[in-house]
Chain A
């Protein structure tokens, strides 16, 4: 990666410079002509890609005199990122629209059984929705930073846009905390159901049911959901870490590190948004009966049978055991 190359170059340059310096260290009374050996700007820039010196104020970062690396970052932020974001988000939307138009909502093939079973507890649903609302706010306020200036600003004018962006920045900063907590909880809460296994291979082979006409079997979470889980966990961790690096400037790194952090943060966030669009689609208009899982927390037994047959078997088995143990029996959910 470019950054690695940069690091190597930096280290090499520092080494070369230190060699030069140590070669010219004056011992007592060694004759030197400071003017003849004056440092030259372009030479330093070529060696190190940045010029750093000594300042007396405690803020040592101000010792960086010149650092043209910002130009590359500018190119990324103003051009590359907008392409990445645009393609990822618009592309996903387009695919979803096409899919919806082509296939429509995935309906329950067997109709509703009338019997429901619990899929997500109240706590699970709380964590999901907390994280989700945070995510949406973060996504919108984040997208505003990248796309607001060309898209929104001309529509609403400078003052309104700044006002909105200021709020958006506050929201982005403050909501990062519940979002991060949410990601951590999601990670812990659903880790058990999201370890990949053999069933996933089959599920993936059959494209989650798109290939062929029946649904592949799955435990509580199918491979698609597992993918979303891991994207949320890993992507969430990535945006959180890089986000905090930006929010607490100079605690973790200098400017170059912050430029890197911003690049990672924004790229991951764009892809994250794209994936979440698909997630939202499937959870809502994409599939009949899916929203209930996070809505009421219960799903129709037929839905469970079609999409998570192995999980339903497990749940039924567990319910039977419970029934045997404790009478009078009660259905798990009414």
Chain B
């Protein structure tokens, strides 16, 4: 079975934020919640690179390991999902996550967290695929429709790749071979404990 992964080719990313708004559009993500974001390293200096980042759907996901109520799970596709019905908004997944993926709507008093929200790899949640309940809680379920995450599908320069880890790694490897440079598959070592030879 395919193991879904994200890969951002920083030598292509131009911080156009299409991934960010595509995500907002597809899932109607409210103001203040950023399931995906683009960070620019070394801004304005030679060597500047931008990287689009969201939940990387880690192997042996740390968020799932530390969740006190065990509401985070990995699907057969390797996608890390969670149940908003079970989530208690404790913030532990955020402490554990290396990528700052979990988001919390600010509800109630003193900065207390609501239900955690994060990138679902456009794969919804535990509810029935494509159901209204699923859409309302987690957004669209593109994977169930045979489509990949919209952020990657709409990426302006095909920098952000999503899909079967082996395939996207192959695409990236070929790119690096062809052009002769590559600043690495950002986050892969941390998320999947592997690197792509470049």
**Chains A and B touch (C-beta atoms under 8 A apart):** yes
How far is it, in angstroms, between the C-alpha of A195 and the C-alpha of B72 when the chains are bound?
A: 50
Verify if B116 is at the interface (C-beta below 8 Å from A): no
B97 (CB) vs chain A CBs: closest residue:
A70
A35-79 interface code vs B (CB 8 A; 1 in, 0 out):
101111110110000011111010101111111111101100110
Annotate A140-157 by CB proximity to B: 1 below 8 A, 0 otherwise: 000011101100010000
Q: Is the C-beta of B124 less than 8 angstroms from some C-beta in chain A?
A: no
A65 with B85: in contact, given A54-B43, A247-B110 (CB under 8 Å)?
A: no
Instruction: Compute how far the CA of A271 lies from the CA of B158 in the bound complex, rounded to whole angstroms.
Output: 53
Q: Name the contact of A62 in the complex, choosing from B11, B71, B100 (C-beta under 8 A).
A: B100
CA distance A21 to B44 in the complex (A): 11
Q: CB within 8 Å of A: which of B43-86?
A: 43, 45-51, 53, 62, 65-71, 85-86
Query: Which residues of chain B come closer than 8 Å to A57, judged between CB atoms?
Result: 34, 37
CB distance from A190 to the nearest CB of B (A): 29
- Minimum distance in angstroms from A140 CB to a CB of chain B: 13
Q: Which one of A4-12, A86-94, A180-188, A254-262 is at the interface?
A: A254-262
Are A39 and B183 in contact, CB atoms less than 8 angstroms apart?
Answer: yes
Q: What's the A-B contact tally at a CB cutoff of 8 Å?
A: 164
Given contacts A38-B181, A148-B68, A247-B112, A73 and B96 within 8 Å (CB-CB):
yes
B184, A41: Cβ atoms closer than 8 Å: yes
- Are A53 and B40 neighbours in the complex by a CB distance under 8 Å? yes
Q: How near does chain B come to A84, taking the closest CB pair, in angstroms?
A: 16
Against A, the Cβ 8 Å flags (1 = close, 0 = not) of B174-193 are 00000001011011011000
The stretch among B87-95, B137-145, B159-167 that forms the contact with chain A is B87-95
Q: Interface extent on B, as a size class?
A: 35 or more
- Give chain A residues whose Cβ lies under 8 Å from the Cβ of B96: 70-71, 73-74, 77
Give the total of A residues in contact with B, Cβ under 8 Å. Answer: 61
Residue contact A262 to B95, C-beta cutoff 8 Å: yes
| Residue A309 at the chain B interface, CB threshold 8 Å | no
Closest chain-B Cβ to A285's Cβ sits at a distance in Å of 32
Q: Does B113 contact A (CB under 8 A)?
A: yes
Check if A78 sits within 8 Å of B66, measured CB to CB: yes
Q: Are A65 and B34 in contact (CB under 8 A)?
A: no
Instruction: Give the distance to chain A from B9, nearest Cβ to Cβ, in Å.
Output: 12
With A38-B11, A65-B186 known, 13 other A-B pairs at CB within 8 A are A41-B187, A52-B39, A62-B37, A62-B39, A66-B99, A67-B99, A71-B96, A73-B95, A162-B71, A165-B69, A169-B90, A246-B91, A247-B112
